[in-house]
Structure 1
Amino acid sequence: MRIRPRSWLFPALATATTLTVALVVVPRQLAPDDDGTPAASAAAPAAQAAPAPAGKAKPDARDVVLAVHGGAGTALSRDETSPEQEKAYRDGLARALRAGKKVLDKDGTSTRAVEKAVNVLEDDPLFNAGKGAVFTADAGHELDASIMRGSDLAAGAVAGVKHVRNPITAARLVMDKTKHVLLAGQGADDFAVQQGLKPVTQDYYWTQRRWDELMKAKGHQPVKDTTKGTVGAVAVDGKKDLSAATSTGGLTNKMAGRVGDSPVIGAGTYAKNSTVAASATGQGEVFIRGAATATISNLMEFGGKDLAKASYEVLVERLPTLGGDGGVIALDGKGTFDAPHSSEGMLHGYLTRDGKLVTKIFKDESPPNS
């Protein structure tokens, strides 16, 4: 049952303990691009499943121009995933890649490409960002996002927004229209409206799946999240400029006011032309404490490591010692791409310069790098 009025929520929280988690595949409609045309093209290349990468601390692919992720966490199992569910996840990642590809094909910037790619994932209820965001402990929604441009280290972020449909667009506006990097709470919501973004009610984010997960968490039952909650994108454009973007609904049953790594530059998002564009996903507190994405860049710049070795060291060797796991998508200006993760799985995909589109959703396609 869809419960919306907030006055009804708290009695339900106090008594609900036995609801189960169900994966709901919801028909999705792509948000239009600025010119009113769909971001995905019917003539775009079909998504392909890719074999698992061989070895460790080695790039997953080369000549990549755009990559996206849909969260790290418990991997999808072939035995437990229906063909319809598999198609829904692959299609979601592929639509995001095609939205970014459309920008790059028109000589657009990498910043615009990652924003558009993340917009698609924010509008897809399968992912925990925008529509389909998880619930906080008080049965609300608080969303975070950040974006960074590698050419000049410009960045923008929002945290704890409650009425923004696409937080990554609000983050880009913070970067482009203010002298600040991070706006939070009511001020961030007000700023988004001032910049012309139409606000949404909290009901917009609601999905049955996320409500059931909250009820299960309130009943002290384990919630087997398909992903840990974040979406993101990295890209390199025709000028060799890098950009990264990350957006999330956070953690199921998180304290109201909790902010994770996604809006924190250097933790969840980082981009620098001379090193890397990186978007992270996982246990946010650990990624903040480990300065995950900035450390990857620093290992490349000051430690002389290549992209794959730097990413592997941070994600597989360093962060787990702090008590958490997760993953990252990382891309350099030459198109070298890697997606190491210490979690069981990470949903992600990438697009190469020649138009090859790859998605990875199963654990055998992207095994943990441990």
Structure 2
Amino acid sequence: MDKPSSPKAKTAIVIHGGAGTILKSKMTPEIEQAYIEALEHALKTGHAILEKGGSSTEAVKATIVTMEDSPLFNAGKGAVFTHEGNNELDASIMVSNDLSAGAIAGVSHIKNPILLADKVRTDSKHVLMAREGAEEFAKEQGFELVDPQYFFTQNRWDQLQKIIKEDPDKMQLSEDEAKNSKFGTVGAVALDKDGIITAGTSTGGMTNKRYARIGDSPIIGAGTYANVHCGISATGHGEYFIRAAVAYDICALVEYKKETIQGAADIVILDKLKKMGGDGGVIGLDKDGNIMMSFNTPGMYRGAIDVDGNITIEIYQKK
């Protein structure tokens, strides 16, 4: 007599490619299609790893690498420029089962910051490394440092020149400007067959930033968080996400208040953060693979493959 087959383990993945004033009226069909294809490629890359029994950590890293390698997003190849005309990249990653985490900030020679963030997690006693120190660690770990010219894209360079021309003394985006801009940070959260959740985030920060400014993306609990209850990756005006401890706050509401992950995210993003004046969004999932996407801006590049294999890719706010 044949034994009944065991139920298939749940796996799921959700991603974002930034939030902000993303309007269909300002998007050409060609650019819109390019984003859809990039999001689909990222999703399928990570989901294929999960389907083969791979870990959520490997899935998140591979997914984010595809977006870091794309000039469409403000991470890796498509990173924005600082006031001085440099690229300073941040990334973080966290794993649910042991609360291990790694992050790097302000690096300028690392092709895929998410991979270095994970190396900090696995091969150091630290959580966060920055700038020259992080790059020294990278060399010791066998990373090949790239020429900063690798990160140059004309579009990002032109954005910097426009801001400097309009106001050469402006240090970075004002609150009003932030509300009318796009935060191109990328992130992914995945659930694997073993029930382990991994969350990761990568960014180039803000155009025209100065003084080695660092946002929420490499801050565990603000831009990235994962525990046995849920995993979160954020994108938005980082100063607000840090002050509100957004990623952790959502998971705390799920754990202690028994909120659904979507309900918890909406409380933080649509109410608490909005009252502070903060714009942006989050993606995430819970231990059962329930997908969450929440944002208080006109759009957020986002996508998911749920536990049933259904794929969703969206850009604009639903009416």
> Do they superpose with TM above 0.5?
yes
Question: For 1:199, what is the secondary structure of its paired residue?
Answer: coil
- Closer, same or farther in 2 for the Cα pair 1:350/1:291, shift >3 Å? same
- In the alignment, the residues of structure 2 paired with residue 279 and residue 75 of structure 1 have an alpha-carbon distance, to the nearest angstrom, of 19
How high is the sequence identity, in percent, across the aligned residues? 47
1:190 shift after superposition = 1.4
1:291-326 deviations in whole A, cap 9, x for unaligned? 000001111112222211111111111112222111
- In the alignment, the residues of structure 1 paired with residue 180 and residue 31 of structure 2 have an alpha-carbon distance, to the nearest angstrom, of 15
Amino acid in the other structure paired with 2:21: T
Question: For 2:133, what is the secondary structure of its paired residue?
Answer: helix
Farther off after superposition, 214-223 or 200-209: 214-223
- In the alignment, the residues of structure 2 paired with residue 226 and residue 285 of structure 1 have an alpha-carbon distance, to the nearest angstrom, of 15
**1:64 touches 1:350 (CA, 8 Å); kept in 2?**
no
Of Structure 1 and Structure 2, the greater strand share is in: 2
Q: What corresponds to 2:20 in structure 1?
A: 73
- In the alignment, the residues of structure 2 paired with residue 87 and residue 316 of structure 1 have an alpha-carbon distance, to the nearest angstrom, of 28
Segments of structure 1 that go 5 or more residues without pairing to the other structure are 1-62
Q: What corresponds to 2:128 in structure 1?
A: 182
Count of aligned pairs: 301
Residue 280, structure 1, aligned to residue 234, structure 2: yes
- In the alignment, the residues of structure 1 paired with residue 46 and residue 284 of structure 2 have an alpha-carbon distance, to the nearest angstrom, of 16
Residue 234, structure 1, aligned to residue 181, structure 2: no
**1:217 touches 1:223 (CA, 8 Å); kept in 2?**
no
**2:11 touches 2:50 (CA, 8 Å); kept in 1?**
no
1:251 shift after superposition = 0.3
1:153-199 deviations in whole A, cap 9, x for unaligned? 00000000010000000000000001110000101011112212211
Amino acid in the other structure paired with 1:259: I
1:64 shift after superposition = 6.7
Residue 216, structure 1, aligned to residue 162, structure 2: yes
Question: For 2:13, what is the secondary structure of its paired residue?
Answer: strand
- In the alignment, the residues of structure 2 paired with residue 208 and residue 64 of structure 1 have an alpha-carbon distance, to the nearest angstrom, of 38
| CA RMSD, 1 decimal | 1.6
Residue 131, structure 1, aligned to residue 77, structure 2: yes
Question: For 2:42, what is the secondary structure of its paired residue?
Answer: helix
Question: For 2:82, what is the secondary structure of its paired residue?
Answer: coil
Q: What corresponds to 1:340 in structure 2?
A: 294
- In the alignment, the residues of structure 2 paired with residue 195 and residue 176 of structure 1 have an alpha-carbon distance, to the nearest angstrom, of 11
**1:137 touches 1:256 (CA, 8 Å); kept in 2?**
no
1:127-170 deviations in whole A, cap 9, x for unaligned? 00000100001111100000000111000000000100000000
**Equivalent residue in structure 1 for 2:44, among 85, 98, 102:** 98
Q: What corresponds to 1:328 in structure 2?
A: 282
**1:64 touches 1:336 (CA, 8 Å); kept in 2?**
no
1:40-73 deviations in whole A, cap 9, x for unaligned? xxxxxxxxxxxxxxxxxxxxxxx77001100010
- In the alignment, the residues of structure 1 paired with residue 73 and residue 243 of structure 2 have an alpha-carbon distance, to the nearest angstrom, of 25
**2:290 touches 2:306 (CA, 8 Å); kept in 1?**
no
- In the alignment, the residues of structure 2 paired with residue 150 and residue 224 of structure 1 have an alpha-carbon distance, to the nearest angstrom, of 32
Q: What corresponds to 2:214 in structure 1?
A: 259
Segments of structure 2 that go 5 or more residues without pairing to the other structure are 1-9, 168-176
- In the alignment, the residues of structure 2 paired with residue 141 and residue 260 of structure 1 have an alpha-carbon distance, to the nearest angstrom, of 14
- Closer, same or farther in 2 for the Cα pair 1:334/1:266, shift >3 Å? same
Q: What corresponds to 1:38 in structure 2?
A: none
**1:64 touches 1:337 (CA, 8 Å); kept in 2?**
no
**Equivalent residue in structure 1 for 2:57, among 101, 107, 111:** 111
Question: For 1:340, what is the secondary structure of its paired residue?
Answer: strand
Amino acid in the other structure paired with 1:267: A
- In the alignment, the residues of structure 2 paired with residue 136 and residue 256 of structure 1 have an alpha-carbon distance, to the nearest angstrom, of 9
Of Structure 1 and Structure 2, the greater helix share is in: 2
**1:104 touches 1:113 (CA, 8 Å); kept in 2?**
yes
1:335-361 deviations in whole A, cap 9, x for unaligned? 111111111211100012333222101
Amino acid in the other structure paired with 1:248: T
Farther off after superposition, 188-197 or 132-141: 188-197
Q: What corresponds to 1:268 in structure 2?
A: 223
Question: For 1:246, what is the secondary structure of its paired residue?
Answer: strand
1:223 shift after superposition = 9.0
Q: What corresponds to 2:119 in structure 1?
A: 173
